Every structure is written in C-alpha cells, then in structure tokens.
C-alpha cells in the first residue's frame, strides 16, 4: 500500500511539473515578437552574425561581455534566420528551464516535511519548491527577460544549475558533481562576466556548510582551483579597466540603498505600470514572514540525510538562502566602489532565492495561523500570482520597448534614393540595417546599399560652450547636407548624443519640417531644406 501510494504521488508530481512547464512555456512564447527589438537586442544580432573573427575577438577584448552567448546564437541563426522570434526564443526556453531548476534546487536546499495530515505528494502549493517554481513561472521580471534577446535568463539557468551541482558535491561528493560544477561556472562566466560573483557566494556557502562538508572539501577545492584557469585570462583582458582611476564602464555610481530598492521593486513587479507599490503588500508580507520565521521553520522540519549523504542543519540551510539574497548585491556594490557596474538585470539570478523566501512565508502562515492559515496562505498566493500575471499581460500588450521596427520600416518605405537619412543617435544604423534586411543568417551583409546616403547626428555632449558647439555643428551640417533637398531624421535616445538639441535647432533654422510621426520612444521627421546647399556654399 505504501509503495503504491508513493508511486501515485510521484506520478501526480510529474503531471504537475509537466503542466507547469507547458504553462510557463506558453506564457513566454505568446507574443514573443509583438514588440520591436530595442538597441541592445539589435546589438546581439549584430555581434552574433558579423564576421566570425570579430565576434571571437570579444574573448580577448577589454570590457566585452557575453561572448559565448553571441557565439552560440550564430549556428542558431544559420538554421532559423535572425527574426525577432528566433533571437528571443532561446531566452524563453532558458526561462522555462529556470522554473524547473528552481523547483529542483529548492527541494534540495530546503527539504521541508509536509504539514500534519498531508503527504509529500499532496502538499503541492504549501511547499517552498512549488511556490518558488510557480513564482518563477509567473513573475513579470522573469517574463520580461524571457522575452528579450539577451543572455539574462540563460544566466539564471546557469546559476541554478551550478548551485544544484554545488549542493550535490557537498552532499554526496565524488568527482562528477564537482566536474559538472566547474564546467557550468566556466560557461556561466563566459556568458556574463559578472558571474564571477558566484565565487564569493559559493565560498561563503562552503564556510556555512562546515563541518558537514568536511568530507568533500577536496572536491570543492579542486573545482575552485580549476576555475582559476578560465578566470585568469579575464583578469588579464580586464586589467586596464580594473586599475583605471576614472570610470570606464559607462555606469554611474549607485548607492547601496538605491541598489536594494531597485532590485526589490523591479524583481517584485517587473516593468509594467502597476501604480502604487501597495498592490505588492501581500508579496512583501509573505517575504517578510519567510525572512523572520523561516529559520525556525527550516530548523524544525529539516529532513534526514537520505541520498544527500551529508546532513546540513536547518539553520545552515536558511543561512545559505539568505546569503544568496544578500551577498551578490553587496559584492557588486564593493566592486562598484572601484568601477561603477550596477544595473539590476545583472543580478536577475537572485530571484529564485527571493521566491524561496516567499515560499517559506507561505509555510510560516500555514504553521502559525492554524485556524485559517491554509486559506490565508492560498489566498495570498493566488493574489500575488494574479497581480504578476496581470503585470505580465501589460508588459506584453502595452508599447514598452522602443518601436525601432515601426520607425525604420516607415522611413525605408517612403525614402527616395536621393534623400539623406540622419540618425540620432548614430548607433541606430544597426537597427536600420537589420529592419531593412530579409532576416537571414547574415542580415547586415550588403546593408550599405540600403542605408546610404546617411549621416550620424551631431555629438554635442562634449561640454564645450554653446557658441563654439553651434559653429562647429553648422559647419558639419552644411557640409554633410550639401546637395540634398530632403532630409529624413530618425531620432531615439537623442539625449545620449545631443542633450542641448543643437542639431534640431539647426534644422529648424535651415529647413521646413514637412512631417512628424511619433512611435514609442522613436520619432521620424521629414525636412525640406529651404535652399539646397552646394559644395561652394559650404566652402564659403
């Protein structure tokens, strides 16, 4: 009877996992290409499809990030082409894998007994693993990056896999888990440079797990020593940036409290306009309950060693979890004291730990509110998941990414071969080349013919006086627009290049604006010069 019940429980659990996987996949793939690529996504296509030596040079170039991700896209594009769906699909797939890995890691890190009267098979929603996995499936922040053609959901999956192998190595030992750990972390570092933050996190884990991990310290030490082989080349390549006395990263310094607030809010609500944060109060309540009461619950319900071989006390497991939440932001802050490097997506991989804390809050509510705890916990979970699904729907349906696709296709359809294209910022050339292509394996090949004639907009953020900048800008605009009658201006993020809008002032002075069309985050304008400039006029 017991064996039959266990079998039914395993089958039931498998069915739930299959259902969760399908739902997470459908939620990520739905409307995957509805919104245009934004600038960084176009860059990903360019880095992956340009001449292979140029992409491979990112492995040795200073301040380069994600070379392995871009190299891996190349054969993918060779088979499926470079359309938006093809670019973003690996991110969506990695997001689904992260859901399943979160479930696995939570079961290993925080193995709780089911509440009294429930079997392990039927206690689905009340366990930390299920709550964390459901949260990863529905979280709008995870959804956003699962629908973006960058490496951030891949990073999350790699961190979870590395963490799984670390727990396997500490629990069971043997060379296989540590070899797999070494390989996973190596791949992770070359997928995103700042995953070097995993080094201090897992080292602190090893200290917290002592003396339970004493039997397997040699395996971890060997893996850690082996990781210096792929890491030292990175130090060599990045040395100039590390020792520089002036900022080299392009980021501004972010105070620790601002980092914490940004991480908490973005990972809690994504980027949808939800309004007041009070809508997230139930989520914060569960997180607070998990953080305050979770240690006692883990300590009182830790299971026996089982197949792990080594037992970690409950309070140690809880300490591992909290360290996962707190140490990566602190490490990034310390690194930023030397070179500012913080942006919230670099720490997307602390989300599983945050959701495990929320799962502990669910368990705590059920445990400390015996009368209505189950109903209250279920209601809070349903509410949070509902808010997150609504936020995810807003992210899918509202125009949130800059509509480069709409702007470029509009200009390309109407622009005559003898009309000059002005791109402000000049980096928009890659978006124009991409969106005027046939989206094949090499969309940027032969794109000069589609782009010419064109010029980059004026750079005026150099700090020189207005009069000097205007005089220089007048000479540049006169020389570059000479011989043209009509000018198309494609503008997006112009403040990065021309905060004072001196180029716009020149156009208004010397040309008539014929038409303006606004797209989300992008503007298209058609100008007609009042007096076409010639080379003689320019020389004068």
Give how far Cα 336 sits from Cα of 32, 54, 346, Å. 34, 29, 13
Buried b (16+ CB within 10 A) or exposed e, 52-88: eeebeebeeeeebebbbbbbbbbebbeeebbbbebbb
DSSP 244-305: -SS--SSPPP--HHHHHHHHHHHHHHTTS---SGGGGHHHHHHHHHHHHHHHHHHHHHBPP-
Best CA proximity match to 45, nearest among 345, 321, 447: 447
Quick one: tokens of 230?
Answer: 């792929």
Best CA proximity match to 300, nearest among 130, 102, 110: 110
Calpha distance 105→163 (Å, rounded): 7
Calpha distance 180→177 (Å, rounded): 5
Give the pLDDT of residue 359. Answer: 94
Q: Where are the alpha helices (DSSP H) in 369-464?
A: 373-397, 404-414, 428-435, 448-451
Q: What single-letter DSSP state applies at residue 340?
A: -
Residues 318 and 171: beta-carbon distance below 8 Å: no
* Strand 522-529 to 511-519 pairing: antiparallel
Q: How far apart are the first and last CA of the chain?
A: 99
Tallying the residues shown for the chain, one arrives at 540
Segment holding 3, helix H or strand E: helix 2-29
Segment holding 509, helix H or strand E: helix 502-510
* Strand 486-491 to 522-529 pairing: antiparallel
Q: What is the pLDDT along the chain (540 residues), one digit of tens a residue?
A: 466 666 676 788 889 999 999 999 999 999 999 999 999 999 999 999 999 888 888 777 666 777 899 999 999 999 999 999 999 999 999 999 999 999 999 998 987 655 555 554 444 344 889 999 999 999 999 999 999 999 999 999 999 999 999 999 998 888 899 999 999 999 998 999 889 899 999 999 999 988 777 788 888 988 888 887 777 666 666 666 666 666 666 678 899 999 999 999 999 999 988 877 888 999 999 999 999 888 776 765 544 434 445 567 778 889 999 999 999 999 999 988 888 889 999 999 999 999 999 999 988 888 777 678 788 989 999 999 999 999 999 999 999 999 999 999 999 999 999 999 999 999 999 999 999 999 999 999 999 999 999 999 999 999 899 999 999 999 999 999 999 999 999 999 999 999 999 999 999 999 999 999 999 999 999 999 987 665 444 444
User: Domain segments of the chain: what residues?
Assistant: 14-397, 404-539
Calpha distance 462→483 (Å, rounded): 29
Beta bridge partners of 488: 421, 526
Give the pLDDT of residue 502. Answer: 95
CATH topology of domain 404-539: Rossmann fold (3.40.50)
Quick one: tokens of 424?
Answer: 């402000």
Beta bridge partners of 422: 455, 489
Would you tell me the crossing angle of helices 39-49 and 67-80 to the nearest 10 degrees?
80
Residues 6+ apart with CB under 8 A from 53: none
Reduced to 3 states (helix: H, G, I; strand: E, B; else coil), residue 532 is: coil
Buried b (16+ CB within 10 A) or exposed e, 365-383: bbbeeeeebbeebeebbee
Calpha distance 281→503 (Å, rounded): 47
Reduced to 3 states (helix: H, G, I; strand: E, B; else coil), residue 35 is: coil
Angle at 181 between CA 176 and CA 186, to 5 degrees: 130
């Amino acid at each position: 009877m017991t064996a039959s019940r266990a079998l039914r429980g395993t089958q039931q659990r498998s069915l739930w996992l299959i259902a969760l996987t399908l739902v997470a996949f459908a939620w990520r793939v739905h409307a995957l290409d509805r919104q245009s690529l934004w600038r960084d996504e176009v860059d990903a296509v360019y880095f992956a499809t340009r001449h292979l030596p140029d992409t491979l040079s990112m492995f040795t170039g200073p301040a380069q990030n994600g070379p392995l991700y871009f190299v891996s896209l190349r054969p993918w594009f060779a088979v499926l082409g470079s359309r938006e769906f093809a670019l973003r699909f690996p991110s969506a797939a990695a997001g689904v894998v992260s859901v399943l890995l979160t479930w696995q890691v939570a079961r290993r890190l925080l193995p709780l007994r089911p509440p009294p009267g429930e079997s392990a098979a039927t206690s689905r929603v009340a366990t930390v693993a299920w709550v964390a996995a459901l949260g990863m499936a529905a979280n709008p922040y995870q959804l956003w990056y699962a629908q973006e053609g960058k490496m951030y959901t891949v990073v999350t999956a790699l961190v979870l896999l590395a963490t799984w192998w670390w727990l396997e190595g500490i629990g069971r030992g043997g060379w296989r888990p540590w070899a797999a750990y070494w390989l996973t972390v190596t791949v992770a570092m070359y997928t995103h440079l700042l995953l070097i933050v995993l080094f201090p996190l897992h080292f602190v884990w090893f200290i917290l797990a002592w003396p339970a991990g004493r039997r397997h310290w040699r395996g971890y030490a060997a893996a850690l020593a082996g990781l210096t082989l792929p890491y030292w080349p990175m130090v060599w390549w990045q040395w100039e940036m590390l020792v520089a006395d002036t900022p080299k990263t392009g980021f501004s310094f972010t105070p620790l409290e601002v980092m914490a607030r940004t991480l908490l809010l973005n990972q809690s609500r994504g980027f949808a306009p939800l309004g007041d944060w009070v809508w997230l109060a139930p989520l914060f309540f569960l997180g607070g309950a998990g953080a305050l009461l979770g240690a006692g619950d883990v300590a009182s319900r830790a299971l026996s060693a089982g197949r792990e071989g080594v037992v970690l006390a409950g309070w140690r497991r809880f300490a591992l979890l909290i360290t996962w939440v707190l140490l990566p932001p602190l490490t990034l802050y310390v690194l930023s004291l030397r070179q500012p490097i913080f942006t919230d997506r670099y720490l997307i991989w602390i989300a599983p730990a945050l959701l495990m804390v929320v799962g502990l809050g669910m368990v705590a509510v059920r445990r400390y509110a015996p009368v209505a705890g189950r109903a209250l916990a279920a209601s809070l979970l349903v509410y949070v998941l509902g808010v997150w699904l609504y936020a995810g729907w807003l992210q899918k349906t509202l125009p949130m990414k800059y509509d480069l696709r709409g702007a470029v296709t509009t200009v390309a359809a109407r622009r005559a071969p003898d009309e000059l294209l002005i791109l402000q910022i000049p980096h928009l050339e890659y978006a124009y080349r991409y969106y005027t292509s046939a989206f094949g394996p090499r969309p940027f090949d032969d794109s000069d013919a589609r782009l010419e004639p064109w010029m980059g907009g004026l750079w005026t953020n150099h700090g020189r006086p207005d009069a000097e900048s205007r005089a220089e800008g007048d000479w540049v605009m006169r020389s570059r627009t000479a011989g043209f009658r009509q000018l198309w201006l494609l503008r997006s993020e112009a403040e990065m290049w021309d905060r004072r809008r001196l180029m716009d002032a020149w156009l208004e002075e010397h040309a008539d604006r014929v038409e303006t069309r606004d797209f989300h985050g992008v503007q298209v304008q058609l100008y007609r010069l009042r007096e076409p400039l010639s080379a003689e006029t320019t020389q004068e």
